[in-house]
Chain A
Amino acid sequence: MTTTLSDLDRPQPDGADITARAISRRNTGADAVFAHATRAIGTSVLVVTGGVGLFLGYQAIPTFKRYGLSFFTEQQWSPDTDTIGIAAVLVGTFQVALVAMVIAFPLALATALYISEYAPARLKPTLVSMVDLMAAVPSVIYGLFVALLIMPYAADLSIWFDRNLGWLPIFEVPGGQADAPIPALSQYFFSAFVAGIAVSMMVLPMACAVMRQVFSQTPPGEKEAALALGASTWGMIRTVVLPFGRGGIIGGTMLALGRALGETIAVALIISPSFEIKWSLTEQGGSTISSLIANRFGTASPSQLSALLAAGLVLFLITLVINTLAATVVNRSRSGAETD
């Protein structure tokens, strides 16, 4: 005999009064406290983090009113003559980030592939924590390393670029005398290219970690199927791992790009500030938004500070867009999905 709800409603033979409990999903007692407490914490984090964006926007309004569109087209940043614009620093920011990504992307991809596909299984955990460690090395140390050790070699490379690829405007350095028997190395120091090398060391482990994570989620069945059909290791990577990890590759690269755009100290240590748009990456001088803020905030009057905040807002919005795109790409791709 089965018991149904209506059976329970009826008075039982032995006189016990059993009624069905009302089903409710509402939290009661401690659970309600728990739910509301965590919601309050979540809200506070929402307020703090969202507040940064709103606050920056609010503070930047006077600057946008004062300078209008010329804030984006003016190259000079000289508060003394009341000409303030971020055209040059914006271009500089993208130049440094571009150099960093050109160097970091292939290296990060290859390192991620090596760790997930080629490395002996015993070494894998060590290699993974080495990449994590590389991400945790303070940026000021990378800045020191590049500024004092790598810079002459980078300048040497810049001269070689100038000599052999000088017809490309990005490698041409006016007054560099690349063809002289002993070219002036110092003409090639403190450039966006050198700063980009330092930034690339910083963003590489980040991109690599995301890519490796996604590669390691490749369904082993599909890899084994490719190998069983006679594919070589590279054939298997090209046809299974890379298509599967495409989302992770794009997403990791964009996350790294977001970080590269905002990097401050390494750039401030290396680049020598100048405020004009230069097409040449290897020419001395340049500036990025974050290094501009780091260099100028101390001596800024309230109105200049507002201008710096406006520049910070622009930087924040750019990285926000890039990061949101990256998160969408990673989440949309098959990579994130459960496969079993």
Chain B
Amino acid sequence: MTSLDKRPDAAIDRAAARTHLPAYDDDAPPPVPRASLGRMTPDELFVRAGSWFAAFGLAWVTTQRLLPMTGIPWFLISWFVLGIVVTAVATAATGTWIDVKDRVAASIITGCALFVGSALVAVVVYVAVKGYKPVLNLNFVTDDMAGVGPKDPFDQGGIRHAIVGSLIEIGIAVAITLPLGVGTAVFMTEVGGRYARVVRTLVEAMTALPSIVAGLFVYTVYILALGRPPSGLAAALALSVMMLPIIARASDVVLRVVPGGLREASLALGASRWRTVWHVVLPTARPGLATALILGVARGIGETSPVLLTSGAADFTKLNPLEGAMNSLPLFIFGNVRSGNDVAIQRAYGAALVLLMLVLVLFVIARLLARPRRTTARRSRKADS
């Protein structure tokens, strides 16, 4: 209680210019502290969720009953638009213009994010639904298309040649790009200098290289100028040209965030520079480097255009990348879709499903490798405190 409260009322009336302090109302309910400051109040929750329920009904009535716009797409579009309108109106009834803007922005942003997420899910589900039939037969992954016509049923033939071809090509590409890419990244971050900046600028610029141009480059140099036939090696070279800047740039980013203190500690203990890089910098950055590699591989394994120009397509399993045509998964899909034959297209979907699974598996591996180890996390927490 301050001294102001003890004054008689008359004194307060006279001093009109003073700040008016509200007196405590004895009949008022006791103040209830909010349970959670972060969570929405029931009121707010009702306005937000209720608006979308209202919009759902409105959209159904307008598109399916009033306007000639039947069909799911129009319904979804009008649900989104009406949802925003209803949210705005409902918020304006109780809130201010600022509240309206806040809620409308939140609705639009959440709606767009949901749309993008459902697009990704739709792609995966669509490929799975269309392509599960050929994959159900085991021979789809254990057999190749040698002597099998495009219209033959699914219990004959398979895509072993494409899977093996993809793996061989990507294996060669990784064997070329991993040492070169990581070596370049080490040069750019650990050696440095003006020349390293030139290399970095060029590598960053070359990530723009359209993949078809990489394929065209290898096609003209390796196949036309050197006179070699299209082969798995040529495809691997084309993929390498495309993946090299990607891996070098990603590794560069990873190496740059290795704490300088670790390097300095190693050097202060008397280690030479290359030992510092080999024993301190690279092991620290290992999860990040693994992610960089897997992202590059995921790009490379699905890229069709360089392979289309350089490898040719064979129907049989081929293990020698040096000579003769070699098929790969993206090329198999592209060729079969282009053929226009129903059975072939279904096979293409099956191959697409296998390719998607392959990318997914690679991705899970990347995430597992990139996850910081629990022991190191605990140690660093102890160091922080």
A interface list, Cβ under 8 A from B: 27, 29-31, 33-35, 37-39, 41-46, 48-50, 52, 55-56, 59, 106-107, 110-111, 113-115, 117-119, 127, 129-130, 132-134, 136-142, 144-145, 147, 149, 153, 156-157, 201, 204, 208, 232-235, 237, 258, 261-265, 269, 290, 293-294, 297, 302, 305, 308-309, 312, 315-316, 319-320, 322-324, 327
Contact = CB atoms under 8 A, between A and B. Distances in A.
Given A133-B360, A204-B116, A264-B211, A49 B244 contact: yes
A42 B73 contact: no
A141 B352 contact: yes
A319 B349 CA distance: 32
B98 A232 contact: yes
A111 B62 CA distance: 29
Contacts of A293: 212, 216
A117 B190 CA distance: 35
A46 B244 CA distance: 11
Report the 5 A-B pairs with minimum CB-CB distance, sorted nearest first.
Answer: A138-B302, A262-B210, A110-B112, A34-B274, A41-B183
A132 B122 CA distance: 16
A272 B331 CA distance: 19
A327 B204 contact: yes
Nearest to B217: A52
Given A114-B112, A269-B337, A34 B123 contact: no
Given A38-B190, A132-B295, 9 more contacts: A41-B183, A45-B199, A139-B304, A140-B334, A208-B116, A258-B208, A262-B213, A322-B208, A323-B208
A136 B359 contact: yes
Contacts of B348: 144
Given A232-B101, A234-B102, A111 B272 contact: no
B42 to A, nearest CB: 19
Contact of B209 (A33, A52, A297): A52
Which of A39, A264, A319 has its CB near the most chain B CB atoms (within 10 A)? Answer: A264
> Could you say which of B108, B109, B337 has the most chain A C-beta atoms within 10 Å of its C-beta?
B109
11 contacts: A39-B195, A45-B180, A52-B213, A134-B116, A138-B304, A139-B303, A140-B330, A147-B337, A232-B99, A315-B213, A316-B209
B214 interface: yes
Interface in B102-120: 102, 105-106, 108-113, 115-117, 119-120
Chain A CB within 10 Å, residue with most, of B214, B305, B337, B367: B305
Q: Mostly helix, strand, loop or mixed at chain A's interface?
A: helix
B102 to A, nearest CB: 4
A38 B113 CA distance: 43
Contact of B363 (A129, A141, A294): A129
A117 B112 CA distance: 14
A97 to B, nearest CB: 12
Interface in B174-211: 179-181, 183-184, 186-188, 190-191, 195-196, 198-199, 202-211
A44 B181 CA distance: 10
A255 to B, nearest CB: 8
Given A39-B195, A45-B248, A140-B330, A113 B109 contact: yes
Contacts of B244: 45, 48-49
Contact of B187 (A41, A308, A316, A322): A41
Nearest to B177: A45
Given A31-B272, A42-B196, A264-B305, A107 B211 contact: no
A49 B216 contact: no
Contact of B123 (A31, A43, A127, A141): A141
Contacts of A204: 116
Nearest to B214: A52
B161 to A, nearest CB: 17
B208 A265 contact: no
